[in-house]
Amino acid sequence: MSFTIEQILRGDVPRVGHRPPTAADPSLVPISLRVNGQEYHLQLEPRVSLLDALREFIGLTGTKKGCNQGACGACTVLINGERVNSCLTFAVMHQGQEITTIEGLGQPDDLHPLQAAFIEHDGYQCGYCTPGQICSAVAMLKEVAQGDASHVTSDLTATQIELTDEEIRERMSGNVCRCGAYLGIVDSIRDVYEQQKGQ
Amino acid sequence: MRAFTYTRAADEQTALSAVIRNPEAKFIGGGTNLVDLMREEVERPNEVVDINGLPFSQIEELPDGGVRLGALARNSHTANHLLVRQRYPVLSQAILSAASPQLRNLATNAGNLLQRTRCYYFYDITAPCNKREPGSGCAAIHGVNRIHAILGTSEQCIATHPSDMAVALAALDAVVQVQGCEGTRNIPIEAFHRLPGDTPAQDTNLGHEELITGIHLPALPFGTNSLYLKVRDRPSYAFALVSVAAVLELEGEQVKNVRLALGGVAHKPWRAHTAEQALLGKPATAENFRQAAEAELQTAIAYEHNAFKIELAKRTIVRALLTLTERHLA
């Protein structure tokens, strides 16, 4: 059985664990989310996490649910360009913000440089953590460019960061990969960092 | 997760009215701890008051040379602010050693202070826990207590406070600025968190009808020679087994000023006054550092699995102070 996004948005689709919304249901609140440049108007309970709103109600299943407690990073998305765990925040809190998921970074015929690098360097095996890894890495490279320090940055007063492999590993420690593709992940990120630096 | 009503506060008055009206309402900032606790049903507010629209996100320099951190400034923003990086490196290091970048982007400064213990039994709603359910007992005292407290414990609770940031704030003599319906008050960081005693359910001295607006970092010229040393089971993204926030000023080779606070060892950030007193005016040597650490840990009590923390705390204090001494002499 498959459904169109329009059907999902209208609430025509039965979902496990969620009552079908009706206009009269007082537990529902209108929530507008802007995801990948598109507006979505939903009726949700306030307890719906941003992660569940993206996957179950908007139908953007690229973002993954791993631990659902902020430990694995599979649910990482960008809010106004900053990486966050979408499982640990309520959708209702993010109206009017610019949310970017893996679908908004690139598409099969138009890959983001990090997506291309993950393919080139075997930055995954099963791929489940990959959308979170890539969203996280996109924001991480921006943090480095703006001079943000990390736990392994020796000189906190320096505003130019040299992105060593040690820095990449520390800055990506919020994204866990059970397949252990870490070497490929570090290679992918270093590759894109070098490309950007060369530009 | 239980259902709740969501309110977005437009200003301080609306926020305070909501919690005055409803004793079960909770403020939400970043939500990284609250959402998790609500999902586990450890926290069950029937109303969540979103305070992210309030104007408490600034980090600003004060005329006296201190810095004011807005309650809603994110941990990542705070750690990376140049004023903090330059004047209070111990605070930047503490924040950057905590959680993950994604969590630090959501987590607020006030929320960091109010996060709750990661004691497994507190999180497990089927286990007895005096903090979660007063009078039900403490499963940790005779349970798996490797991560638990060694200082200031009670027969009711041996949980630790999980924050790294708060440990640095303790060493910096920070002051928590609070707004209530009857005005504002300042709570020194040492009086903000509590020891468990007979009321472990109460983590802090903040009232239900009070809102944190900011954190004041007093001017501290010797704060530049400071360090946060965190010992944990893996080198990133883990809570402290033991941590030390240290600030050291030497005159020649003598200790002129020293601030020490310990994390991972107590129900609150543990300001090591005994060790500080023992060091003032003494030569900055490994031997004196060790003696001061011994004096501080004199009252430590070990439980079945956490005896290692006593020696670990002593060695971490010594290493932190030696590192700062070497930096000063270099």
User: Any idea what the CATH number is for the domain that residue A180 is in?
Assistant: 1.10.150.120
- Exposed, middle or buried, A81 (CB in 10 Å: 0-12/13-18/19+)? exposed
Q: What string of pLDDT tens digits covers the 330 residues of chain B?
A: 999 999 999 999 999 999 999 999 999 999 999 999 999 999 999 999 999 999 999 999 999 999 999 999 999 999 999 999 999 999 999 999 999 999 999 999 999 999 999 999 999 999 999 999 999 999 999 999 999 999 999 999 999 999 999 999 999 999 999 999 999 999 999 999 999 999 999 999 999 999 999 999 999 999 999 999 999 999 999 999 999 999 999 999 999 999 999 999 999 999 999 999 999 999 999 999 999 999 999 999 999 999 999 999 999 999 999 999 999 998
**Chain A residues touching B35 at Cβ < 8 A:** 49, 87-90
Q: Which domain holds residue A164?
A: 113-198
In Å, the largest CA–CA distance within chain A is: 58
Q: Do A88 and B36 touch (CB under 8 A)?
A: yes
Domain assignment present for B22: yes
Do both A92 and A142 map to the same domain?
A: no
Q: How far is CA B328 from CA B196, B252, B257, in A?
A: 38, 10, 13
Domain assignment present for B48: yes
Question: Which residue in B319, B300, B191, B192 sits closest to B248, CA to CA?
Answer: B319
What is the percentage of chain B residues whose pLDDT exceeds 90? Answer: 99
What is the rounded CA–CA span in Å between residue B176 and residue B215? 5
Do both A96 and A168 map to the same domain?
A: no
Who wins on pLDDT, A85 or A197? A85
B279: CATH: 3.30.390.50
Do both A95 and A119 map to the same domain?
A: no
Q: Would you call A134 an interface residue with chain B, using a CB distance cutoff of 8 Å? A: no
Provide the number of structural domains found in chain B: 2
What is the rounded CA–CA span in Å between residue B142 and residue A180? 36
Do both A96 and A124 map to the same domain?
A: no
Domain assignment present for B168: no
Do both A124 and A161 map to the same domain?
A: yes
Do both A117 and A152 map to the same domain?
A: yes
CB atoms within 10 A of CB A95: 12
Instruction: With a cut of 80, say whether residue A10 has pLDDT above it.
Output: no
Instruction: Look at strands B175-180 and B210-217 and give their pairing.
Output: antiparallel
Distance from CA of A130 to the nearest CA of B (A): 15
pLDDT (average), residues A76-96:
98
Do both A98 and A138 map to the same domain?
A: no
Do both A178 and A145 map to the same domain?
A: yes
Domain assignment present for B317: yes
* Cβ within 8 Å of residue B25, ≥6 positions away: B7, B18, B19, B45, B46, B47, B48, B49
Residue B45 has phi, psi (to 5 degrees) of -65, 145
Return the residue matching tokens 């319906």: B181
Domain assignment present for B309: yes
Instruction: With a cut of 90, say whether residue A4 has pLDDT above it.
Output: no
Domain assignment present for B210: no
Q: Are B241 and B247 in contact (CB under 8 A)?
A: no
pLDDT (average), residues A95-108:
97
What is the rounded CA–CA span in Å between residue A119 and residue A115? 7
What is the rounded CA–CA span in Å between residue B164 and residue B186? 21
Return the residue matching tokens 């060892």: B265
Interface test with A, best of B2, B50, B100 (most A CBs within 10 A): B100
Domain assignment present for B189: no
Q: Residue A16 has what pLDDT? A: 47
Q: Are B162 and B118 in contact (CB under 8 A)?
A: yes
User: For chain A, percent helix, then strand, then coil, each to nearest 5?
Assistant: 35, 15, 45
CB atoms within 10 A of CB B38: 21
Q: Are B297 and B183 in contact (CB under 8 A)?
A: no
Q: Residue A159 has what pLDDT? A: 87
A73 φ/ψ sector (left φ>0, alpha ψ -120 to 50, else beta)? left
Model confidence band, residue A198 (pLDDT cutoffs 50, 70, 90) = confident
Q: Residue A60 has what pLDDT? A: 98
Interface test with A, best of B34, B38, B48, B102 (most A CBs within 10 A): B102
Instruction: With a cut of 70, say whether residue A13 has pLDDT above it.
Output: no
Domain-ending residue, one of A85, A104, A123 = A104
Q: Do A47 and B97 touch (CB under 8 A)?
A: no
What is the rounded CA–CA span in Å between residue B8 and residue B204? 25
Q: Are B154 and B197 in contact (CB under 8 A)?
A: yes
Domain assignment present for B284: yes
**Chain A residues touching B50 at Cβ < 8 A:** 92-93
Model confidence band, residue A199 (pLDDT cutoffs 50, 70, 90) = confident
Q: Do B80 and A149 touch (CB under 8 A)?
A: yes
Domain-ending residue, one of A47, A78, A104 = A104
Q: Which domain holds residue B277?
A: 222-329
ipTM over 0.90: yes
Model confidence band, residue A17 (pLDDT cutoffs 50, 70, 90) = very low
Do both A81 and A127 map to the same domain?
A: no
Q: Which of B89, B99, B101 sits opposite A156 (nearest CB)?
A: B89
What is the rounded CA–CA span in Å between residue B204 and residue B187? 11
Q: Do B102 and A84 touch (CB under 8 A)?
A: yes
Q: How far is CA B262 from CA A25, B231, B307, in A?
A: 50, 11, 16
Provide the number of structural domains found in chain A: 2
Q: Are A42 and A59 in contact (CB under 8 A)?
A: no
Nearest CA in chain B to A72: B100
Strands of A38-44's sheet in order across: A38-44, A29-35, A98-100, A76-79, A82-85
Residue A138 has phi, psi (to 5 degrees) of -60, -50
Do both A66 and A128 map to the same domain?
A: no
Q: Which of B5, B96, B103 sits opposite A85 (nearest CB)?
A: B103
Q: Which of A87, A93, A174 sits opposite B100 (nearest CB)?
A: A174
Model confidence band, residue A24 (pLDDT cutoffs 50, 70, 90) = low
Domain-ending residue, one of A54, A72, A104 = A104
